Chains A and B, each alone.
Chain A
């Protein structure tokens, strides 16, 4: 079966490589000109022996060896129809050419965008992590004597930024031998080996101080550089994807609800999975694991070439259906379509059984009682009530 992967960052590439090795037909699309995503801009990643660029190019070469993977760069998803197993998508590729593909599952790995909070400081200019990484990579840094990292400005920093702070603090300390201090509300590191990163940074002489509620405008710091962390935002195509695919987002606009039943990779629709930074806030190690988990889930779904249907799905009495579209609006899994029914001789709602979770929300809301949930029919419940 074939699989569509949205996003050619490290998460998308990693999933594609696994699925390609398993013999699936994979289509990978990326909206930028190059594969690799955010990792291309980084100078180093803690826990990675090689440079991030080399790591990405290793993965891309693996990807290119596999003949069953098709890659479209500068491409985006325009339209998706159908349901698990029978998705039908239109892609806009280079030169606005439309390509139509059929696929059984989708993995969303669209990643994140970063934005620097707008603030100014009297004493010196503010530098964000992206610029710092570029500066270190270009080795154009003049001699520095003191660098200050400011963390948790308006809210607690995300894990990626916290890790980046620790890593860069240690790097500047070791490489340039300058004084480095980190001002933060609270240092929290989660993940493999990251506690060690913190203790190493302390041992090497990075100074950590706790501060609360800094007014950055009136701040008088004697230092060469003041470095602040960016805030993490959902990738800017997220809004469009939400409309095209009908997947739910959380309150911050990232994919996937904070709901235990859908952890780690499931979405509200069967056959659509999330991978990477678009739904978790984590470092590279965890992103790699997460993208593999999504790939396993897709492989599990499609490896048998058949999709099992739950017994307790809803069914529609086409005669009674008045096409009010209440069910289509209320279905949390987008498992209802309008289709011409031969038996009734008119258009009616149709439950797509392979996509139905069997919750019965449509059955409870249908004003004509045209929809009934198998084993929980209204008659049965009313009989129980007495």
Chain B
């Protein structure tokens, strides 16, 4: 049986949140965390996810120039970039953290991207070796 990766999705409530929730209902291994703006996400939240054994973290933010709070999506881009560098330091593949820009009506594209993410996560495998901490 294929490996079922644990994925955390940070989702801006102004982006494709409804669709992300529907995915959450169907898969028990997907966790969704709602934020008022993706600018609310900080490095510590993302790193805590990996610490608690999540294999993949997805950050979903609004498309550029359509942020409800002007530059929240640009800020989170910088946070993700910095966190990726930190992951490299820790010898964790930086592919495990990905950011996507979606408008609220881009459901189909989200499903396509999500399928791809699950595939990538299963290829990468669990973040810690079995028996490890």
Give residues in A with beta carbon < 8 Å to B. 248, 257-262, 268, 312, 330, 332-333, 357-361, 363-365, 373, 376, 378, 381-382, 384-386
Contacts and interface: CB of A to CB of B under 8 A. Distances in A.
A385 B40 contact: no
B97 interface: no
B16 interface: no
A259 B70 contact: yes
Contacts of A386: 52
Nearest to B53: A386
B40 A359 contact: yes
B106 to A, nearest CB: 14
A357 B69 contact: yes
A365 B72 CA distance: 11
Contact of A364 (B31, B39, B52, B54): B39
Given A257-B65, A268-B70, A361 B40 contact: yes
Interface string B35-74: 1110111101100110010100000000001111111100
A359 B72 contact: yes
A385 B36 contact: no
Contacts of B36: 312, 358-360, 373, 376
Contact of A382 (B40, B48, B68, B71): B48
A381 B37 CA distance: 14
A245 to B, nearest CB: 15
Given A257-B70, A258-B65, A361-B40, 6 more contacts: A248-B70, A261-B66, A332-B69, A381-B33, A382-B44, A385-B54
Nearest to A250: B65
A363 B40 contact: yes
Nearest to A248: B70
B76 to A, nearest CB: 8
B37 A361 contact: yes
A262 B71 CA distance: 13
A360 B40 contact: yes
